[in-house]
Amino acid sequence: MTDTKHKTRRSFLKAAAISTVGAGIGGATASAAESQISAKASSLPAKVPRKKLGTTGQSIPILLVGCAQKFDPKYDKILHRAFKEGVDYLDTAIVYADGQSHRTIAPFIKQIGDRSKLWITSKGPSKNATVDSYTKDLDRCLEELETTYLDLFFMHFVDDPKFLKPEYITMGERLRASKKTRFFGFSCHGDHQVALLNKAAKVGGIDAIMFRYSFAKYGDLELNKAIDACRKAGIGLIAMKTQDSVPGDQEDVLRFKSQQFTLAQAKLKAVWADERIDAAVSHLDNTQKLAENVAAAKTPAQLTMNEFQQLQRMATARAEHSCQGCSHICESHFPEKTAIARPLRYLMYHQCYGESERARSLYAQLSPEERHFEGVDLRAATRACPQGIPIEQRLAEAGRQLA
Q: Which stretch binds ligand SF4 (CB under 6 A): 39-47, 73-81, 319-327, 357-365?
A: 319-327
- Pick 220 or 275: Cβ nearer ligand SF4: 220
Convert residues 331-370 into a mask of x (bound to ligand SF4 by CB under 6 A) and - (unbound): ---------xx--x--------------------------
- Shortest approach of ligand SF4 to residue 264 CB, angstroms? 23
- For every residue of 332-380, DSSP letters joined together read GG-SS---SHHHHHHHHHHHHS--HHHHHHHHHTS-HHHH--TT---HH
- Pick 64 or 381: Cβ nearer ligand SF4: 381
User: Residues 36, 214, 242, 387: which binds ligand SF4 (CB under 6 A)?
Assistant: 387
- Pick 264 or 385: Cβ nearer ligand SF4: 385
User: Residues 64, 391, 395, 402: which binds ligand SF4 (CB under 6 A)?
Assistant: 391
- Amino acid code (one letter) for 120: I
**How many other C-beta atoms are found inside a 10 Å radius of the C-beta of residue 162?**
11
Assign 83 to helix, strand or coil. helix
Q: Which stretch binds ligand SF4 (CB under 6 A): 1-9, 76-84, 294-302, 384-392?
A: 384-392
- Whole-number Å distance between alpha carbons of 245 and 325: 11
Asked whether position 284 contacts ligand SF4 by CB under 6 A, the answer is no
Asked whether position 97 contacts ligand SF4 by CB under 6 A, the answer is no
Assign 65 to helix, strand or coil. strand
Asked whether position 378 contacts ligand SF4 by CB under 6 A, the answer is no
* CA trace torsion 324, 36, 350, 313 (10° rounding): 40
Q: Which stretch binds ligand SF4 (CB under 6 A): 232-240, 255-263, 317-325, 351-359?
A: 317-325
User: Residues 385, 395, 398, 402: which binds ligand SF4 (CB under 6 A)?
Assistant: 385
Contact 94, 129 (CB under 8 A): no
Q: Which stretch binds ligand SF4 (CB under 6 A): 42-50, 52-60, 88-96, 386-394?
A: 386-394
Beta bridge partner(s), residue 120: 90
Contact 188, 209 (CB under 8 A): yes
Q: Are strands 236-240 and 63-66 parallel, antiparallel or unpaired?
A: unpaired
Q: Which stretch binds ligand SF4 (CB under 6 A): 49-57, 270-278, 300-308, 320-328?
A: 320-328
Size of the site for ligand SF4 (CB under 6 A): 14
Dihedral sign for Cα atoms in the order 315, 319, 323, 329: positive
- Pick 110 or 383: Cβ nearer ligand SF4: 383
- Whole-number Å distance between alpha carbons of 11 and 6: 9
- Pick 214 or 327: Cβ nearer ligand SF4: 327
Residues 6 or more apart whose CB falls under 8 angstroms from that of 121 comprise 89, 90, 91, 92, 150, 151, 152, 153, 154, 210
The residue ranges that bind ligand SF4 (CB under 6 A) are 323-327, 329-330, 340-341, 344, 385, 387, 389, 391
